[in-house]
Chain A
Amino acid sequence: METVTLQDYKTSEKSWWCPGCGDFGVLAALQKTLVKLGIPPHRVAIVAGIGCSGKMGNYINSYNIHVVHGRTLPSALGVKLANRDLLVIAAGGDGDGFAIGMNHFVHAVRRNIGVKYIVMDNHIYGLTKGQNSPTSDQGQKVKAAPFGNVESPVRPLSLALTAGATYVAQGFSSNQAQLARLIEGAIAHPGFAFVNVLSPCVTYNKINTYDFYKQMLYDLDADKDYLPDSRGRAISAVLEREELVTGLIYHDPGSVAYEDALPGFSQEPLAGRDITLGEAEFEELLASYR
């Protein structure tokens, strides 16, 4: 078997993110994890959304599909159902996932689709030059809300937990080692795995900065008393700390992926199956219309 190297996952394209953008850290952690696990690039499909984070797929040499704004998760489900042998990763930002794509997020969670969802959450709209996002803090002043944000932020972790998520983790883009570990856990998890990554926007978000997170984040992984095995405790733990936590928050070891729960669904990739319908089988189906 060929060994997989970091070079295999590099593309010739120069990254278009601002210098210092948190998304560099997410890309690096993902690439490192894929190499560590020895997964060759052709076995990986990345479904990316619109926004700065959606450019992820431009910079990683896997199969990539860059879809319309907010629709990463249904597209990713389509990819997974077509070829269940692929590692399917959906990647997007907080606007893509929790504003325009919020509907799909909740439903992907409750379906427990075999997709790993990495959100690069910078609490701001970067690519459209600095509007509030659904995770922006209350009071944040931007050009589109010059008197301050009056909306209460979405709390992605507790939202996922109450919707029935079977793997919930939060990383911080400058803590590579932990983030890589969380992504590795997500990949190993059967079903939907949600890794929210606090990924600072150095250009437009002057509140949720690297320093802010370094000061505020509480590492649940380092807390010997915290066990990620109870949904109820997980919800309390993240809400008590206003979701300013990192680590594995919840993991359901009994998780059954959507594609495994579907009645009669192909165990082998549909994409490779013979799809010809036999004459006799067809006649049998037709007979029910007599």
Chain B
Amino acid sequence: MPTSFAWMIGGDQGEGIDATGDVFGRVLSRLGYCIYGYRHFSSRIKGGHTNFTVRIAREKVLAPQANVEVLVALTQETIDRNCHLLAPGAPLLADSQLKPTLPEACRAQLVEIPLTQIAREIGAPVVRNMVAVGASTALFGLPLEAFAAYAREKFARKGETVAGQNVEALQRGRAFIEELGMAGRFSLPEPAPRERYLMTGNDSLALGALAGGCRIMAAYPITPATDIMEGLAGLFPRFGGAVCQMEDELAAITLVIGANYAGARAMTATSGPGFSLMQEGIGLASMAEIPAVVVDTQRVGPSTGMPTKNEQSDLMAAVFGGHGEGQRIVMAPGTAEQAFADGFEAFNLADRYQCPVIILSDLALAQWLQSVEDLPLKQHRIDRGAIVAQEELDRLTGEFERYRVTEDGISPRALPGMPKGQFLATGVEHASSGKVSEAPQNRVSQVEKRSRKLAPLRTRPEAIEARQVDDAEVVVVCFGSIVGAVDEAVERLRQAGVRAGRVQVRQLWPMPDLPLTGALSGAAKVLVAEQNATGELRQLMRIAGLEDSRYRSLLHFDGTLLSPERVVAAVQAMSVKEEV
């Protein structure tokens, strides 16, 4: 018996595919299932194929399923492009209006269902997709009442008529399948009766930032980062904050720098093309030692690349982008829980180390729905880092020494508005006073001061997350959203007798070389899995001295999210090769 099920709905963009997937996934989540909701879409608003898959499991899953149990098709293209995902005999629900046909090789069971016609009979063509949801509840033997209750709640604001039409659509769809005798075709496992949230990494990152004290967000719209801006735009007015939609990313990053300089917590969120534009600003934050939080939700690059597809190829840009040698901290969440934690802690790190902190997210994490048990607010505390006390400023006889050379490299800052704390923050090299200086000795001492700051982060315990590495012969190293696929692969490999483990790198820079060395010490082989063509993570590890004959790469760069199957195959291929 499978441990997870996948339900896919497909149609043209602009036909409410995402919204329908959201409804189906959300009610299943309320029923106690773990959900992973992922989509295929293109960079346009109307037209073109799109689909949304809801993967349903008892335990948390964070990777796409190789097949689907049920396909709901609103267009013939949906059938043509996706029916290979169905096992022979699996139900393909298609709107009768399409006069649908199956490709010759397809052995699925075509179930024609008059979705459009039923919706018309109800008097509301827009409820067509809800008819399909109703039909699906029958196939999976799900309680209709849970869906009806959700529809009533969701459409309450639109009035009783609309809510009623949606409920009727659910009922009619269900009745249609029941009449065909197909009800209960699949039996889902008993759900674990736990309350969960269903959210994207963008959702949880925005919540983390809010909880972490962020009150200013400046950004320019870009897929797949925009939800962060939109999420905060709805929340900030309650908390006195502001979201500023800027004219470009140059403005967004420099607004953030100005706001942080003046003592607020501010962030920006972008994707590759915008991140490239922000490099100059990030350099300023490094040089002038101003905190700044930048989210880069990676997509396929370079240039416009594939805006709606997966890739993890901004590591080098995040760590080394821009001219000169500036200090940056680069964090890499892989789950919604981690995006929340990083969204909060990035502000603490930025204030503590007075430098830019980049959260390197990616498309699947940013936009795909996942079940979340808890976002533990209590585990985080706001730390504003070193700010000079007013009493100390009052005692000063000379100028405030903003960039005083200290042992740990961190110099307490004054915030504008504090009497006697005036100083110059500048992207020009400066003396400890902040005043411009090009003296060789000063240059050396300031460069060394700034460089020293980040040394403790090399051993930060949260910088890696290792699982099942103690007895592992093969350890898969990864970062970002592919951690779900890697975990699933490790589990399957273990079931097949391969002692596999995984290490997720949570902080890409400074590279946590000592914790990594420890976690990988027992492994006979190390597979570095990443979604890019050049092995950027492996290159960064090499720079940090982590490379030997045990290391291999799994590079995935076709725009899809790495699958557990591919990881399993790569690990197995490694084992075979060595034995031969």
Contact = CB atoms under 8 A, between A and B. Distances in A.
A264 B257 contact: no
Contacts of A259: 242
B16 to A, nearest CB: 20
Contacts, number: 207
A145 interface: no
Contacts of A272: 263, 417
A68 B256 CA distance: 13
A270 B382 contact: no
B384 to A, nearest CB: 9
A82 B262 contact: yes
Interface of A: 11-13, 40-43, 45, 47, 57-58, 61-68, 70-71, 73-83, 85-86, 103-104, 106-107, 259, 262-266, 269-273, 275-277, 279, 282, 285-286, 289-290
Nearest to B292: A78
Contact of A63 (B237, B266, B416): B416
Contacts of B259: 78-79, 81-82, 270
A13 B430 CA distance: 13
B419 A265 contact: no
B403 to A, nearest CB: 13
A269 B265 CA distance: 12
Contact of A79 (B262, B378, B423, B424): B262
A262 B236 CA distance: 10
B266 to A, nearest CB: 6
Contacts of B213: 275-277
Interface size grouping (class) on chain B: 35 or more
B280 interface: yes
Interface of B: 26, 29-30, 195-199, 203, 207, 210-211, 213, 215-216, 218, 235-242, 244, 246-248, 250-252, 254-266, 280-281, 283-284, 288, 372, 375, 377-378, 382, 399, 415-428, 434-436
Nearest to A90: B258
Contact of A85 (B26, B30, B251, B417): B417
Given A57-B424, A276-B213, A107 B238 contact: no
B375 A286 contact: yes
A253 to B, nearest CB: 25
Contacts of B207: 282, 285-286
A42 B250 contact: no
Contact of A282 (B250, B254, B377, B399): B377
B416 A45 contact: yes
Q: Most B CB atoms within 10 A — which of A62, A66, A262?
A: A66
A121 to B, nearest CB: 22
A275 B237 CA distance: 14
A81 B216 contact: yes
A155 B174 CA distance: 68
A13 B426 CA distance: 15
